[in-house]
Amino acid sequence: MLFRRPNYFPKQLFFRFLTQQILGMVPVLIVATVAARIYLSKNITSLESVQDAVRSFDHAFFSLALVMAATVTTISLWTAYKMILPLGRILVKARSIQSRDYSSADREEESGTTEFEAGEWSDLENTLHHIGRDMETQDISLSRERGETEAIISAISEAVVAVDPLGNLLFFNSQFAVMFGNRDQQKRTGRLSDFFRSPDVLEAFRSTLKTGAPLTISMHLQLKGEHAPRYFSLSIAPLNQVNGQLYGAVGVFHDVTDLKHMDQVRIDFVANVSHELRSPLTSIKGYAQTLKEELQSESSKKYLDTIERNTNRLIALVQDLLNLSSLESGAALESNEVNLKDLTDRVLSQLDTIRVEKGHRVRTQIEVPSLWADPKRIEQVLFNLLENAFKYASPGGEVTVTWTMVSGEVQLHVRDSGPGIPVEHHTRIFERFYRVDSARNREQGGTGLGLAIVKHIVQRHGGRIRVQGGPGEGTVFVCTFPAEKK
């Protein structure tokens, strides 16, 4: 047990320690020699005594050196057993843990080569052994979780890719390789630019890697071997370490080609049906007006008024559907400088009849002189919002129109003193044909598409719209537009 060597014997440390012990003998021998010399000098009285003293000194010095050498050797060997050999075993375990070769440390533990007396070295070895066991358990757990994660990501139908801050690939799933890769790009190496030439994709990843903010964009990409482009919704999220430091970004490509196609079919259908309905409705309205002029009976006029009124509603509905289809199909918008005071006065004059009929007071506050936008579309936004305000505000109430500049953006506020809209309806008020109170809204007329059209126009201009207020507080519609010319 004393001379059994471990897998690693720290020879340099052993010889250095032994040398230090031997060198430690020299001062002791010097001190012993000096002491003997002093003793002899005081007790020498004759030549014979000098010779006897020298012989005695030589024997004593030799005996002392021999005893000290034996003592130092014994102490060195014992110290090597108690300190250096355990240190060798600890180094073996540390290197096994560093290389994640936990089996070698376990074999040594099972073979009994680590048995030695209790002490600090033993505590250190046991602690290191437990650390190795814990790291082995964590490695197994991480490996299992990594395998499960890779299996889940590979099973996802969307393409997934992650990159580091320099644009180098961290990982991607099989769906990404099938969609955007080729035979030369099956390995999990390379750069994102090896897969994409689209500046939209590369710029989106750069933006997230620079700002650390998630991002979602829509785009169309031409895949290899396909004639028609595919439409994707790309969602990018940052990858952060525990300390919050950004180390990459992950992107998910949602293939929305089928949804886009279905949406286009719906838009085309609505547009075609609306076009087909507009001609017969116009004819019905014309014949109804002709009959009103020809027939003199009050009952006939009453019926014809009903026909004309409902025909007008159908024509308005068809026109609104055409407007929505035009906006959704991506029809180009004009970009001109719109004088907001002239625009507001013009819309108010168009609605003057309904305003006078209900006795509403109108207050305008125009702090922004102009806005770069499509004049007809902005006029349509203001017309629809004011028409709603005049319809639903209490008789004799006040309607306020305000144009202001807030945080570098132009804001339009249209406020009325009506009954207000419950908060639970705020998220759905801009849906098509959605009505807070169906019975009351139908009495007021309208197609149910006015706010949906307003929302689409505002969004096409790069703006936002929201509604404020609740029951008994009136209603405020807030439209936000970019102030700069696009």
Domain match, 204 and 287 both: no
Token pair, residue 20, equals: 């230090």
For residue 251, the model assigns a pLDDT of 92
Domain match, 243 and 296 both: no
Q: Whole domain around residue 445: which residue ranges?
A: 336-482
Q: Which residue has the tokens 């013009």?
A: 346
CB 417 within 8 A of CB 400: no
Best CA proximity match to 441, nearest among 459, 457, 429: 429
For residue 22, the model assigns a pLDDT of 64
Where among 202, 223, 255 does a domain terminate?
255
For residue 486, the model assigns a pLDDT of 60
For residue 47, the model assigns a pLDDT of 53
For residue 1, the model assigns a pLDDT of 37
Domain match, 213 and 128 both: no
For residue 18, the model assigns a pLDDT of 66
Domain match, 447 and 313 both: no
Radius of gyration of the chain (CA): 46
Domain match, 248 and 274 both: no
Token pair, residue 118, equals: 């209790």
Token pair, residue 237, equals: 């999220």
Token pair, residue 60, equals: 């004593």
Domain match, 342 and 475 both: yes
Q: Which amino acid is at 241?
A: Q
Task: Give the span between the Cα atoms of 308 and 314, in whole angstroms.
Answer: 10
Domain containing residue 233: CATH number: 3.30.450.20
Q: State how beta strands 409-416 and 246-255 pair.
A: unpaired
Domain match, 131 and 161 both: no
230 φψ region: left (φ > 0), alpha (ψ -120 to 50), beta (else): beta
Where among 291, 307, 328 does a domain terminate?
328
**Would residue 150 count as lying in a domain?**
no
At residue 364's C-alpha, the angle toward residues 361 and 368, to 5°, is 170
Name the DSSP class of 245. -
Average confidence (pLDDT) per 10 residues, the chain, 486 residues: 47 67 68 64 57 66 71 71 69 73 56 50 74 79 75 77 89 84 59 86 91 89 83 91 86 87 74 74 80 74 79 79 75 84 92 86 91 91 90 85 91 89 84 67 63 89 89 89 78
CB atoms within 10 A of CB 167: 17
Domain match, 24 and 98 both: yes
**Would residue 162 count as lying in a domain?**
yes
**Would residue 149 count as lying in a domain?**
no
Which helix H or strand E contains 410, and what residues bound it? strand 409-416
CB 394 within 8 A of CB 435: no
Domain containing residue 321: CATH number: 1.10.287
Task: Give the span between the Cα atoms of 365 and 370, in whole angstroms.
Answer: 13
Rounded to 5 degrees, what are φ and ψ at 365? Answer: -140, 105
What is this structure's pTM? 0.53
Q: State how beta strands 246-255 and 159-163 pair.
A: antiparallel
Domain match, 235 and 285 both: no
**Would residue 141 count as lying in a domain?**
no
**Would residue 113 count as lying in a domain?**
yes
**Would residue 145 count as lying in a domain?**
no
Domain containing residue 367: CATH number: 3.30.565.10
Domain match, 170 and 271 both: no
**Would residue 144 count as lying in a domain?**
no
Domain match, 314 and 382 both: no
Domain total of the chain: 4
Domain match, 287 and 412 both: no
**Would residue 303 count as lying in a domain?**
yes
Where among 301, 328, 355 does a domain terminate?
328
Best CA proximity match to 180, nearest among 166, 162, 161: 161
For residue 6, the model assigns a pLDDT of 47
Which helix H or strand E contains 370, and what residues bound it? strand 370-373
Q: Calculate the dihedral angle through the C-alpha atoms of 241, 243, 246, 251, rounding to the nearest 10 degrees.
A: 40
